[in-house]
Each structure stands twice: as C-alpha cells, then as structure tokens.
Amino acid sequence: MTANGRHLQLSGRRGTPADWVEMSRAALGGRIELDPMSEPIFNEVVRAERIFTEQDDGLTQPWNASTVFINPHGGLVAEAWSKLVYEWSVQRCESAIWIGFSMEQLNLLADSTLHPMDFSLLIARKRIAFLGEDLQVLGSPTHSNYIVGLGIPANRFEASFAGRGRFSHGQFAVARSGLLDDEQFGGVA
C-alpha cells in the first residue's frame, strides 16, 4: 500500500484525534453512545459507551443508539454511509457525526439517495492529523477532510466545530432559531 492510498482500502485503520472527537462529542450533546466501526485501542480516545469491532461486523448490527460517532473504514465508505443513513431514517439512530477521511468520498457517494451535502457539513480548513494503530499522529495528512452531522441542530454543529472550516446545511439539516433562518434550509425547520 502506498502512503497515499486513495481510500485506505488495504488498511483503513485510522483513528480520530482527541480534539476532533471532543468537538464531535459536543455536537452530539456531550455523549457518544455507539461507535459502530471501532476497535478497543481507538476507543481509548473516543470513549464510546459501546463499540462494534471488525469481528462484530457493525454493518450487520442494528445501531440502536441515540448518538453515533463513525470514522468509517476506508474500504467500506459507501456501505458505511448507506448503513448510517438507513439507521437514521428508521430512527434507530437519532444523531450522528461522520468523519470523512477524504473529500474524494463526496464523489464516491454522489449517487447515494441521501448525500453528505444533504445534512450539516463542515469542509475542514486544515487536514486532520489522524492517528495510527499506536495512537500516534501519522505525519502529514494526505487528504482534505469533511465532517457530517445528522440530526444535530445547525447552531450546535457550528458552535462545536467553530473556526475549523466552512459550513453548509442541506435539506435535512436541523434548523434552530437564532443562528440561521428557515429559508437557508429550504423551509425545513
């Protein structure tokens, strides 16, 4: 595998750094109940109440959780996105944060019925320095990143990731008065 593997299909084992986890936790209202694509070493940083490991195969499990945090395995991005959207749409997951390792994933997901751009989206100003399997920073990141919030009030999403990049709110973003008006959400309140 090259250092710049397009979606890390050979080894998708990359952890989210603590500062991004804490911003995600704030966006989720202070609690991460489930990380459905994790492993014990990365959960030392995430501190989710429950995790699904590769052996549990989170893609086959119901995600019954009020809050979900997911940094999907590189080789399973389309499957993981489809599963997240399904779990959210059938209300087994109330709110979620999706950590996008590469902006190229937005292209990969372009044909999805619901796209990351349909929700609250942050295009990160700087690349996220992901963690390796030893929880050490993996040198210079090679991809630009994005974060998606499903079922999270837009003002809380923006406050949690303030100063980290550019925000966009699609048709399924959750509007809240005081920050953005309903017209910016196409009338979705």
**Is pLDDT above 50 for 145?**
yes
Entry field: residues in the chain: 189
The answer to which of 1-15, 49-63, 99-113 has the lowest mean pLDDT is 1-15
Q: In what order do the strands lie in the sheet with 146-150?
A: 50-51, 34-35, 65-70, 93-100, 146-150, 120-124, 165-169
Higher pLDDT, 98 or 143: 98
Taking residues 80-91, report their average pLDDT.
97
Of 62-71, 72-81, 177-186, give the range with the top mean pLDDT: 62-71
| Cα–Cα dist 113/7, whole Å | 21
CATH number for the 18-185 domain, one of 3.10.180, 1.20.58, 3.30.70, 3.40.50? 3.40.50
Return the half-sphere exposure (C-beta side, CA atoms, 13 A cut-off) of residue 2. Answer: 5
| Cross-strand bridge partners of residue 50 | 34
The pLDDT value recorded for residue 173 is: 95
Average pLDDT for 8-31: 84
Q: Where are the domains of the chain?
A: 18-185
The pTM is what? 0.86
